[in-house]
Structure 1
Amino acid sequence: MTPTADASTAPPRSVVLGSTSRYRRELMERLRVPFTVAAPHVDETPWPGEAPKALALRLALAKAKAVATLHPEAVVIGSDQVADLAGQPLGKPGEHGRAVTQLRQMRGQTVIFQTALAVVCLATGFEQVDLAQVRVVFRDLSDEDIEAYLLAEKPYDCAGSAKSEGLGIALLESIDNDDPTALIGLPLIRTARLLRQAGVKLL
């Protein structure tokens, strides 16, 4: 069983976000907890046959652990998001052509965005992972819709090319989830819960 830090007796610990994503950094700022950012330097290549959910969980924990080795006294947050299209993982497209291909695959389909979270503190032995699943139904997009969206938003650093906090919301029929921040890249309800368990005072 993972130890839970006692916030009333444990000394305050620094918080490190193991991500260079500006989306996750902006989300973390909502919690108003002082934190620093560190790049995790983790190979994000999926293993052969690895399911999207398993991939997201593995990478979130790997990122947190990679940064924790450099900051053993800190509480480290790692996160990863994978778009799950009928069991096929869709990551960040990186460029226009791959984004077009992804959105063509997803039009008219239901996609589950698997957003995994890990919080680790080596000094206390704390290690917890969680997963937020967001079920998204895409409109039956035309090629013209796809091109117009990509030219306007350029979401090449977003899993599945869908930036829902921007114009990407116009691509969708519906969103079903229990944490409105999960689709952006960091489920703050779960993040707040795990930080409290790790001994970080939020309020």
Structure 2
Amino acid sequence: MTASALWLAPAPLLLASASATRRDLLASAGLPVETAPARIDERALEAESGGLAPAALALRLARAKAEEVAARHPGRVVIGADQVLECEGRVFHKPADAQAAHAHLARLQGRTHALHAAVAILREGEAEAFVETALLTMRPLAAEAIDAYLRLAGAAVTSSVGAYQLEGLGIHLFERIEGDHSTILGLPLTPLLARLRGMGLLAF
């Protein structure tokens, strides 16, 4: 079955993100996908959302992304996604540089943190939204081990929350991972596909 036979909407799915990882996850599932990054200030929206639990914050950001892109592309099926990393009540963002990445890892080492991955699906007058959570336990790391990892991983450490990518050298940092791999990558694929089927957008 080709992608066009699988996907029943007249136009490709529109991902409200520039994330190559999320785009590739959708494409690997046989979905035709285009991208249109959302024009929102995530940190300003987060500041306005004071008091929201991390999972609820991820959901609000995912909805805001989907709504902004849907307003510019009427008639399209739009997916917004966001991921929030939480450790002991603190929310982490992408580190600005290697020094910030070191501070992130020093805080996360030896602890379990949560990755809350939220998805919002919009189609003219119809909306679906959900959150999936993965739990990751980082092994105890001395400062020297963190320095070695940062040297080897290079600039990639600033491209994701937590300063690691499990699909790369970041896997060496962990002793236990609980949760779906696509949730960890920022787009829970199995529940997303279930909701697309429920909306009548997939052939099977």
TM-score when scaled to structure 1? 0.88
Among residues 23, 26, 35, which one is paired with 1:25 in the alignment?
A: 23
Contact in 2 for aligned 1:60/1:79 (Cα 8 Å): yes
Among residues 46, 49, 52, which one is paired with 1:50 in the alignment?
A: 52
Q: Does the C-alpha gap of structure 1 residues 32 and 94 become closer, same or farther in structure 2, counting only changes over 3 Å?
A: farther
Alignment of 1:128-139 (within 5 A): 128-139=128-139
- Per the TM alignment, residue 51 of structure 1 is displaced from its structure 2 partner at its CA by 2.5
Contact in 2 for aligned 1:93/1:156 (Cα 8 Å): yes
Alignment of 1:104-123 (within 5 A): 104-122=106-124
Contact in 1 for aligned 2:23/2:33 (Cα 8 Å): no
Structure 1: give runs of 5+ residues left out of the alignment: 1-9
Q: Distance in 2 between matches of 1:187 and 1:11?
A: 21
Query: Between the two proteins, what is the percent identity of the paired residues?
Result: 36
Alignment of 1:30-109 (within 5 A): 30-45=28-43, 46-47=46-47, 48-109=50-111
TM-score when scaled to structure 2? 0.87
- Per the TM alignment, residue 49 of structure 1 is displaced from its structure 2 partner at its CA by 3.5
SS in 2 for 1:12: coil
Q: Distance in 2 between matches of 1:165 and 1:185?
A: 12
Contact in 2 for aligned 1:14/1:73 (Cα 8 Å): no
Letter in 2 for 1:173: E
SS in 2 for 1:83: strand
- Per the TM alignment, residue 180 of structure 1 is displaced from its structure 2 partner at its CA by 2.0
Letter in 1 for 2:152: A
In the alignment, which residue of structure 2 is the partner of 1:4?
none
Greater CA drift, 157-166 or 132-141: 157-166
- Per the TM alignment, residue 72 of structure 1 is displaced from its structure 2 partner at its CA by 1.6
- Per the TM alignment, residue 196 of structure 1 is displaced from its structure 2 partner at its CA by 1.7
In the alignment, which residue of structure 2 is the partner of 1:3?
none
Letter in 2 for 1:143: A
Contact in 2 for aligned 1:192/1:202 (Cα 8 Å): no
- Per the TM alignment, residue 86 of structure 1 is displaced from its structure 2 partner at its CA by 1.1
Contact in 2 for aligned 1:33/1:202 (Cα 8 Å): no
Structure 2: give runs of 5+ residues left out of the alignment: 1-7
In the alignment, which residue of structure 2 is the partner of 1:163?
165
Contact in 2 for aligned 1:13/1:200 (Cα 8 Å): no
- Per the TM alignment, residue 170 of structure 1 is displaced from its structure 2 partner at its CA by 0.6
Q: Does the C-alpha gap of structure 1 residues 29 and 62 become closer, same or farther in structure 2, counting only changes over 3 Å?
A: same
Q: After superposition, give the CA deviation of every residue in 1:121-173 in whole Å (9 maximum; x if it has no partner).
A: 12xx1111111100111100111221222222222111111211111111001
Q: Distance in 2 between matches of 1:26 and 1:71?
A: 21
Q: Higher helix fraction: Structure 1 or Structure 2?
A: 2
In the alignment, which residue of structure 1 is the partner of 2:189?
188
In angstroms, what is the RMSD of aligned CA positions?
1.6
